[in-house]
Amino acid sequence: PGEVIELVRLAEKIAHDTDGALDITLAPLIDLWGFGATSHRKAPPDAPEIEKARTACGWHQLDIRDEPPSLRKKHPHTRINLSAVAEGWALDRLARRLKACGEHDFLLELGGEVLARGHAADGKPWLVGVQAPDAPAGDTMQALRLENASLATCGTYRQRFEHEGKSYAHVLDPHTGKPVEHALRSVSVQHPSAALADGYATALLVLGPVRGREIASKLRLNVLWVE
């Protein structure tokens, strides 16, 4: 479908902007680490398993055609996972539909990503809270006013498993095939586009506190970092 190509092109742009930190072809590794829709683990995979899965990953494994829309994989086990951009993309699409129906003031939330248009009932910009890592749902670390903007957060504190005293998060680094290990707990990105906010939040978390800040500065992104 054309929508899939639109999502892939969006992810491709973010990957280009962030030194390949966002990689939609990591589906084999995501499943191997137990973070897929049906797979779960209590211990990390071994090095040979990781290297075998990595052979099917990477943007070089995909050919993309816009018209007619199609994708071709060069490795038989290559699969894609669009979850890093799909929720934000869906919010942007919903917002366009609401605007076409004459709605100008609304707040949308999907999977933790937020899109605000217009103003709240009190005439002020929408007030949105960023959750503190490991805090109960609803515990706000910082409140932000959003006006015609989106806010997306990616963190390592929700989807993870523990093994022998070490935590393994669901955010995988394409360069290693393993979960990120730096000090960042979450990254929140504010952007007019919910899809770009969604993808950049994931990519910056992959890059870590040093390289992530360099890339964010280069792209002039408004980012909240939590270590």
Phi-psi map region of 29: left, alpha, beta (phi>0 left; psi -120 to 50 alpha)? alpha
Q: Cα dist. 11→17, 113, 140 in Å?
A: 10, 17, 29
Q: Cα dist. 51→54, 59, 60, 174, 187 in Å?
A: 5, 16, 16, 12, 28
Q: What is the pLDDT of residues 128-170, one digit of tens each?
A: 988 877 767 667 778 899 999 999 999 887 788 898 889 899 9
Q: What is the pLDDT of residues 183-214, one digit of tens each?
A: 889 999 999 999 999 999 999 999 999 999 99
Q: Cα dist. 85→93, 184, 205, 214, 224 in Å?
A: 12, 20, 14, 22, 19
Q: What is the pLDDT of residue 41?
A: 83
Structure tokens given for 96: 């366009």
Q: How far is CA 2 from the centre of its chain?
A: 21
The pTM for the full model equals 0.92
Q: What is the pLDDT of residue 132?
A: 77
Q: What is the pLDDT of residues 17-71, one digit of tens each?
A: 999 999 999 999 999 999 988 778 889 999 999 999 999 999 999 999 999 999 9
Say if residue 112's pLDDT is above 90: no
